[in-house]
Amino acid sequence: MPESANVCSLQDLRNYVERMICKIHELEPQVFQMTERVLVRKGRPCGICFCLHGPRSVKFVAIWETDQNTVLLYGSSGERVGRVRLTGRPTLQQAAA
């Protein structure tokens, strides 16, 4: 697992998260649906929760949190399986719109 990744746009972030989830869990990229939800703290957007809907109704989650500009990756049972710091900074306003 890389310690950092250069991600500059929201679409780059989506693609990166999908690739990492698929790599970690040995899934074929672009086969399963991925949804996302903007996370809000005290009325302000603070990140995005990505959910890859895998085989047999298994869900894999990644959270991009803006304060630390990191992506936290979780397995199907909720355990953290990785953390990657982003060197670029995607724009959260595009997702909140």
pLDDT tens digit string along 76-93? 999 999 999 999 888 776
Question: Domain boundaries in the chain?
Answer: 4-96
Give the pLDDT of residue 90: 86
Read off the pLDDT of residues 36-88 as tens digits, 9 standing for 90 and up.
Answer: 999 999 999 999 999 999 999 999 999 999 999 999 999 999 999 999 999 98
Whether residue 95 is predicted with pLDDT greater than 80 in this model: the reply is no
Whether residue 2 is predicted with pLDDT greater than 90 in this model: the reply is no
Read off the pLDDT of residues 9-40 as tens digits, 9 standing for 90 and up.
Answer: 999 999 999 999 999 999 999 999 999 999 99
Q: How far is CA 1 from the centre of its chain?
A: 14
Q: Which of 20, 37, 36, 29 is nearest to 83 (CA)?
A: 20
User: What one-character DSSP code corresponds to residue 27?
Assistant: -
The phi and psi torsions of 52 (rounded to 5 degrees) equal -95, 120
The phi and psi torsions of 94 (rounded to 5 degrees) equal -65, -35
Residue with tokens 């809907």: 53
